[in-house]
Amino acid sequence: MPGSFLDSNIVLYLASEDPAKADRAQELVAEGGTISVQVLNEIANVSRRKMGLSWAETRNFLLMIRGLLEVKPITIEIHDVGISLAERYQLPVYDSMIVSAALAAECDTLLSEDLQNGLLINGRLRVVNPF
């Protein structure tokens, strides 16, 4: 079933001080979609290091996100495909793991600010910058 995969930067805008980006992120999350465990890890890292959230606040933020979006586990297969994608498309490894998880979840859209807008991966996953 085609759908959207959200990169960590999109989800993190839920807590943005920029009202336009926070509102847009809220719209995207409300539409539903998929993330990976890696996205949760990146959100936890940013929540603690850059946003200064406590562990309790970080856990609550993560639980909220997990309740709103489907979470795809990271498997060795996703890792292997991610390495191949990094090589083929010259992507940073962590970005290629996001792409691989999106492909494994059978998504047709990857919402991200970090990757090239419009990039088509493996002929079936389109990167879209929703901002």
pLDDT digits (tens, 9 = 90+) for 89-120: 999 999 999 999 999 999 999 999 989 999 99
Instruction: Tell me the domains of the chain and their CATH numbers.
Output: 4-128 (3.40.50.1010)
Query: Looking at residue 74, what DSSP letter applies?
Result: P
CA distance 10 to 73: 19
Quick one: pLDDT at residue 106? 96
- The answer to pTM > 0.85 is yes
Mean pLDDT value across the chain: 95
Quick one: pLDDT at residue 9? 94
Whether the Cβ atoms of residue 13 and residue 25 lie closer than 8 Å to each other:
yes
